[in-house]
Amino acid sequence: MKSTRFVLLAVAAAVLAAPATILAHHGSAAYDMTKLVTVQGTVTGYEFVQPHVLVYLDVKDNNGNIEKWLGESNTPNIVARSGWTRNSLKPGDQITMVGYRAKNGARDLRLEKVILSNGQELNSHWGGVY
């Protein structure tokens, strides 16, 4: 009987703690939301998957060295409303990513938008939902 109560209590605690964990993951605390960063480069990978659309980009620095950048967008169902598709990007595409950089200095951006070489903009439309 004691073990059954313990299990029920543990399950209840886990269920109550889950929303806090989800909200913590989906916040913007890891990014410097005070200024937008813009990088241009060559797409090396594109994942139109849950929970976030990911864009991998090779960017040349001022010395000609390649920097690996990651752009993290919203969920596929949200960005699809802005025109993103599974085929929006492919390796070799030249694009510009605009977003908020990770506070820890990593070359990660919380994407606001991607600008294609033809000028078309694909917005992330965060709207408070991550």
For the segment 57-72, what is each residue's pLDDT rounded down to a tens digit?
Answer: 999 999 999 999 999 9
For the segment 72-123, what is each residue's pLDDT rounded down to a tens digit?
Answer: 999 999 999 889 999 999 999 999 999 999 999 999 999 999 999 999 999 9
Assigned domain for 45 exists: yes
Global pTM value: 0.76
Assigned domain for 74 exists: yes
How many structural domains comprise the chain? Answer: 1
Assigned domain for 75 exists: yes
DSSP symbols for 22-82:
HHHHTSSTTB-TTS-EEEEEEEEEEE--SS--EEEEEEE-TTS-EEEEEEE---HHHHGGG
Q: What amino acid is encoded at 68 in this protein?
A: K
Assigned domain for 7 exists: no
What values do phi and psi take at 79, rounded to 5?
A: -70, -25
Angle, vertex CA 119, rays to CA 47 and CA 112, nearest 5: 50
Q: Tell me what pLDDT residue 33 has.
A: 93
Assigned domain for 68 exists: yes
Which domain does 68 fall in, by range? Answer: 37-123
